[in-house]
Amino acid sequence: MAMKAKTKSKIEVTFIYLFFLVMFIVIGYPLVWTIAMSLNPGSNMLVTQLIPENPTLEHYKWLFTDPNSDYVTWYKNSLGVAIANALGSVVLTSFVAYAFSRYKFVGRKYGLYMFLLLQMFPVLMGMVALYILLTTVGLSDSLIGLTIIYLGGQIPFNAWLVKGYFDTIPKELDEAAKIDGAGHLRIFWTIMLPLAKPILAVVALFNFMAPFMDFLLPRIVLTSPEKYTLALGLYNFINDQFSTNFTVFAAGAILIALPIALVFLILQRYLIGGLTAGATKG
């Protein structure tokens, strides 16, 4: 009987590992295929091979050296927007979240409802108005305009997240500081912010990565190629003549995906921790 249970368990474990193997193939295949495509010479997709006979780095070289390639500019644009967005969002949301977590004021309760509701609405819904507003203030086709929209759009979700985290920091801490004569800003700066570092890192990271991943908003806001962000530029690579540029696209895509995936995998524990903490304790 004991023997039987043991064999049964062994068979089970084997099946579990087999299932993981299948998952690994399903996950890995598209990624490996892309890498293979980027190493294939030429641009004719019909003759590409999964294991290229003459692997080449010509597409990578083309991205960086060819005068027709705007890739480096796009990388710079994305990086600039990403950094501004990460810093700006941390400042904006931590201010808002601090007020909502620690103070009573008129409109507090409805403000929370509003955040909860608004975080569900994609920015796309108000796209026409955003475009007109940006044009009126002269910020259409500009990276600053794009950043401002990102900054405003992220507030509901992140304020909710950070507020949830602030709520878990014991109130006794700031009350003690208040008795010691610390002002509002001092408590915020020396007590709340240092203790909330994990969630602020999550917010910064999310908002750093968003401009690299988003394609829709840049497509609506930006019109001149030298202002494109990476996602938009790459999309246009393959949008016009799909099969002719895919090998170059693959190379460009890998150069975005690799750094982002690395950062992501290194920080994933904090990401998940922050998300669950903020959402379930909010």
Q: Does position 22 bind another protein by CB under 8 A?
A: no
Span near another protein by CB under 8 A; candidates 61-69, 171-179, 192-200, 230-238: 230-238
Interacting span for another protein (CB under 8 A) from 55-63, 90-98, 173-181, 197-205: 90-98
The answer to whether 127 contacts another protein (rule: CB under 8 A) is yes
Residues ≥6 apart with Cβ < 8 Å to 279: 161, 164
How far apart are the C-alpha atoms of 165 and 159, rounded to whole Å? 10
Binding span for another protein by CB under 8 A among 55-63, 153-161, 169-177, 189-197? 153-161
- H or E segment and range at residue 195: helix 193-195
Q: How far apart are CA 52 and CA 36, in angstroms?
A: 7
With contacts defined by CB under 8 A, name the span among 41-49, 69-77, 79-87, 195-203 that binds another protein.
41-49
d(CA 244, CA 62): 14
| Residue with smaller CB distance to another protein, 89 or 227 | 89
- Which DSSP category does 96 fall into? H
**Stretch 263-282 residues interacting with another protein (CB under 8 A):** 264-265, 268, 272-273, 275-276, 279-282
Cβ(41)–Cβ(54) under 8 Å? yes
- Is the CB of residue 52 less than 8 Å from the CB of residue 36? yes
Site string for another protein, 49-88 (x = CB under 8 A): -x--------------------------------------
Amino acid symbol at 56: T
Whole-number Å distance between alpha carbons of 107 and 249: 49
Q: What part of residues 206-225 is at the interface with another protein (CB under 8 A)? A: 209, 212-216, 220
- Shortest CA distance to 199 belongs to which of 61, 97, 85? 97
Residue 8 in contact with another protein, rule: CB under 8 A? no
Using rule CB under 8 A, residue 23 touches another protein: yes
Choose, by CB under 8 A, the member of 6, 8, 22, 33 that binds another protein.
33
Phi, psi at 68, each rounded to 5°: -80, -10
Residue 128 neighbours by CB distance under 10 Å: 10
User: Binding pattern to another protein, positions 186-205, x when CB under 8 A?
Assistant: --------------------
- Neighbouring C-alpha atoms within 13 Å toward the C-beta of 265: 5
Taking residues 154 to 193 in sequence order and writing x for each that binds another protein by CB under 8 A, - otherwise, the string is -xx--x------------------------x---------
Give the other-Cβ count within 10 Å of 84's Cβ: 20
CB of 156 to another protein, least distance (A): 7
Stretch that binds another protein, among 52-60, 67-75, 112-120, 193-201 (CB under 8 A): 112-120
Q: Tell whether residue 100 is a contact of another protein (CB under 8 A).
A: yes
